[in-house]
Amino acid sequence: MPIETMSTEIARSRYNRIAPVYDLMEGIIEIAGYSKWRELLWSRVEGTCILEIGIGTGKNFPYYPAHAEVTAIDFSEKMLERAKDRAERQKIKVQLQWMDVQHLEFKNDTFDTVVASFVFCSVPDPIRGLKEVERVCKPKGKVVLLEHVLSANRILAWLMNVANPMVVRIMGANINRRTVENVATSGLMIEQVTDLGAGIFKLLEARKKLLSP
């Protein structure tokens, strides 16, 4: 897996550093809202060949469809180690791979659905990553993303922009990304955007366009 840019290496190092305490850091918000949003996210998955981007420590394991064959990737080795341990404990059938979404090592048109939760806030080049997602998704295949985005409220957006450098250093995630716009720019066709709270948390459902004959 190539690590081509300094920004990617820095992001990977941050997640390797916080991997041992990652679940503890997000414990309260996981109980408060993330867990029910994860269930909603996975309820929108289609097909049987699924790719999960940014597996992290494996928080989505309980929501995997029983019939699906899931491949899950992450660019942080330490996160993958924790996901592997969790998969073994919970007896989850999943193919885990160390990989960067900016350089997916899969053939074109491979997956029925590509899914990610709170990932594209951390990808150094999110549009490049989303274009890779579009490439490996089958024609008319689905992309489902759970993300936090920059608020449309001017005051809240200003506060988010001010706080972003500190949040990135501590958590590795940018809280001021415009992910809805990035998805559209990538070439994916947005079908639905559901506001989950405060105009910040979004469920994005998109689809790969059918290739022209």
Q: Is the pLDDT of residue 2 over 60?
A: no
Q: How confident is the model at residue 212 (pLDDT cuts 50, 70, 90)?
A: very low
Q: Is the pLDDT of residue 103 over 80?
A: yes
Exposure b/e, 126-151, CB count within 10 A at least 16 = b: bbebbbbbbbbbbeebbbbbbbbbbb
Beta bridge partners of 95: 71
**Rounded to whole angstroms, how far apart are CA atoms 96 and 102?**
17
Q: Which two tokens stand for residue 23?
A: 């679940």
Query: What pLDDT, on a 0 to 100 scale, did the predictor assign at position 9?
Result: 92
Query: For the chain, which domains are there?
Result: 6-207 (3.40.50.150)
pLDDT tens-place string over residues 130-176: 999 999 999 999 999 999 999 999 999 999 999 999 999 888 899 99
**Rounded to whole angstroms, how far apart are CA atoms 90 and 30?**
18
User: Do residues 188 and 27 make contact, with C-beta atoms less than 8 angstroms apart?
Assistant: no
